[in-house]
Amino acid sequence: MDHSEAPLLAALADYHARDRYGFTPPGHRQGHGADPRTISAIGRDAFRSDVLATAGLDDRKSSHGYLSRAEQLMADAVGAEQAFFSTCGSSLSVKAAMLAVAGGRGGLLVSRDAHKSVVAGLVFGGVQPWWIRPRYDERLHLAHPPSPQQVDEAWQEHPDAAGALIVSPTPYGTCADIKSIADICHRRGKPLIVDEAWGAHLPFHEDLPTWAMDAGADVCVVSVHKMGTGFEQGSVFHLQGSLVDPDQLSACADMLMTTSPNVMVYAALDGWRRQMAEHGHSLLGAALGLADRVRADIGTLPGLRVLRQEFLGAEASHDLDPLHVVIDVSGLGVSGYHAADWLRGHQRVDVGLSDHRRIEATLSVADNDRTAGRLLSALSALVRNAADVPRAKEVQLPSAAGLELEPVMLPRDAFFADKETVAADKAAGRVCAEQITPYPPGIPVIIPGERITEELLNYLRSGLAAGMQLPDPADPSLGTIRVVSETAWPNR
C-alpha cells in the first residue's frame, strides 16, 4: 500500500479547502461561536479541525471510506490483518477485546497486574477472571509480566477459559515472552489478548521489544498517545488469525464507543502511521541513542540509580523497552512521590510514574538533546536540593503472597451489590465493593469481589502517608471503604 497517503488528513484539508459549513454539531462552528477566552487558551486551529465525522468530513453514508482506508493502511504498516481506530483510548479498546473473546462465554485468564480498565471490562461484561500470577520482584517491589510457565499453569487449572489477557509492556517498560505465551494459548485453540498500551511504537524498530502481532498475539491494543505522536485518547486495536471474530470485535467496540468520534484524534492516528511508515526507523533509532546517553548521564548523579539490567532475567522480565528511563531516587532519602512533586513544583518538569522509591521519564521520537538536557538539569537540581524535599516515609510493602487476595464474588456482582461504608480499620475480612488503585500506574491493589486483608490495608494506608494517590475509592483518604453488605454476602 502507498504509505504516503493519509486519507483522513487529506479529507480534513479538503473540507477546509471547499469551505464547507455544517448546520450540525459541533455547535461552536469551527470556533466561530467559542468564547474568545477559550480560543485564547486552546487556539482557533483546534476548533477549526473539530468537525463532524459523518455528514461532515465524510457524507452521511461515509461513502468515501476515509476511516476504513486509514485503518487498512494502519494494519498494513504494522503487519496486522485488521486495525480498528478508537477515540476513547485503550481503556475502551481493551474492554471491546475482552467482550469479543469472553462476553457471554464465561471466564478469561487475566494477568493480575492488569490496568483498572481491564477490571472495568470484567464488571461491564460480567466476565469471571481467572488470575495469572505476575512475577513479583521482592527486591524491587514491583510486578514483572507473567512467565510462560505461569500462563500454562493457569490454563491447566482453568482449561475452559475463553482466552487469556496479559499486559506487555508494563508501565515500567518490562515485557513478557509473548511468543511463548501465544504458543501456549494456541495449542489449546484459545486466543491471546495483549494490552500493549505502551507499545504502539514497537513494530517500527528491531532494537525494541517484539511487537505482539509479530509474536503471534490474536488481538493487541495500543495507545498511540503514550509512546507515539497521536492525541490523548488515540488508540488502535489490531487483529489477526481466526480465533477472534472480527465482526464481533467491531460490534463490541461500536457498543462501547462514542457516536461522535473526534476527527482530530482519528486524523492524528492517520498522520502518525504515515510518519512511522516513512521515517519511524530513523526517528526511533535516534530516540534509542538518546535514551542510552540519558541513562549514562543520570548514572553520574550521586544518589540516583537508573534501572535496566535489574529488570531482566529468568525471574524478572523477558525484555525491556529502553525508552522507559526508570530512576531509583531512594539514595537521596526521598520517595518517588515527593521527587515527582518537587520536580513539577521547582523545575516545571513532570514525570509519568512515581512510586515509593522510583520515578520514570519516558522518551519519545519528539525528544532531543535540548529536552534531555532539561531533564538532566532538573534531576541535578533535585540532587542538590534533596535535603529540602520531604524525607521518605516507610511504606509497609506487602509480600508476594499478600497480594493474592481471595476472590469471593464476581467483580460485576460485587460492584453492583448492596453496599455499606465501613471504617478502614474495620474492613479486614469484608468483601470489597470498589476498586482501590494507586495511580499512576493504575493497577488495582484490591478489586470488587476480593476479600480485604489487614496486610494490604497497612500497605495502602502507609502508602497514602508516604504520598501515594488513590483516586478510585469513594473516600480517597481511605478513612472508609465501600464493602458488600452483609445481607448481600455474609461476612464469613
Helix 336-347 to helix 369-384 angle (10° resolution) is 110
| Burial class of residue 105 in the structure, from the number of CB atoms within 10 Å of its CB (0-12 exposed, 13-18 middle, 19+ buried) | middle
DSSP state letters, 415-429: HHS-EEEEEGGG-TT
DSSP state letters, 433-481: -S-B--TTTT--SB-TTBBP-HHHHHHHHHHHHHT----SSSSTT-SEE
CA–CA separation, 293 vs 322, rounded Å? 11
Q: What is the CA radius of gyration of the chain?
A: 23
Name residue, grid cell 513544583: 345
Q: Give the pairing of strands 235-239 and 82-86.
A: antiparallel
261-292 pLDDT, tens per residue? 999 999 999 999 999 999 999 999 999 999 99
Strand order through the sheet with 107-111: 82-86, 235-239, 219-223, 192-195, 164-167, 107-111, 128-132
Tell me the one-letter amino acid at 298: I
389-439 pLDDT, tens per residue? 999 999 999 998 999 999 999 999 999 999 999 999 999 999 999 999 998
374 DSSP 8-state letter: H
CA–CA separation, 193 vs 281, rounded Å? 26
Residue 186 in grid coordinates: 494456541
- Is 145 in contact with 317 (CB distance < 8 Å)? yes
Domains delineated in the chain: 7-20+56-275 (3.40.640.10), 280-388 (3.90.1150.150), 401-484 (3.90.100.10)
Name the residue among 165, 199, 374, 397 with its Cα closest to residue 290.
374
CA–CA separation, 158 vs 154, rounded Å? 6
Residues 6+ apart with CB under 8 A from 253: 84, 86, 92, 93, 96, 237
Residue 466 in grid coordinates: 508516604
Classify 106 as helix, strand or coil.
Answer: coil
> Looking at the chain, how many residues does it have?
492
Residue 443 in grid coordinates: 493497577
Name residue, grid cell 483546534: 46
CA–CA separation, 468 vs 470, rounded Å? 7
DSSP state letters, 288-353: HHHHHHHHHHHTTSTT-EEESGGGBSTTSBSEE-TTEEEEE-GGGT--HHHHHHHHHHHH----SE
205-215 burial, b if ≥16 CB within 10 A, otherwise e? beebbbbbbbb
Tell me the one-letter amino acid at 378: A
- Is 246 in contact with 82 (CB distance < 8 Å)? yes
pLDDT string in tens for the chain (492-residue length): 999 999 999 999 999 999 999 999 999 999 999 999 999 999 999 999 999 999 999 999 999 999 999 999 999 999 999 999 999 899 999 999 999 999 887 799 999 999 999 999 999 999 999 999 889 888 888 889 999 999 999 999 999 999 999 999 999 999 999 999 999 999 999 999 999 999 999 999 999 999 999 999 999 999 999 999 999 999 999 999 999 999 999 999 999 998 899 999 999 999 999 999 999 999 999 999 999 999 999 999 999 999 999 998 877 789 999 999 999 999 999 999 999 999 999 999 999 899 999 999 999 999 999 999 999 999 999 999 999 999 999 999 999 899 999 999 999 999 999 999 999 999 999 999 999 999 888 899 999 999 999 999 999 999 999 999 999 999 999 999 999 998 776 554
Residue 175 CA to chain centroid, in angstroms? 13
Tell me the one-letter amino acid at 448: P
Tell me the one-letter amino acid at 75: A
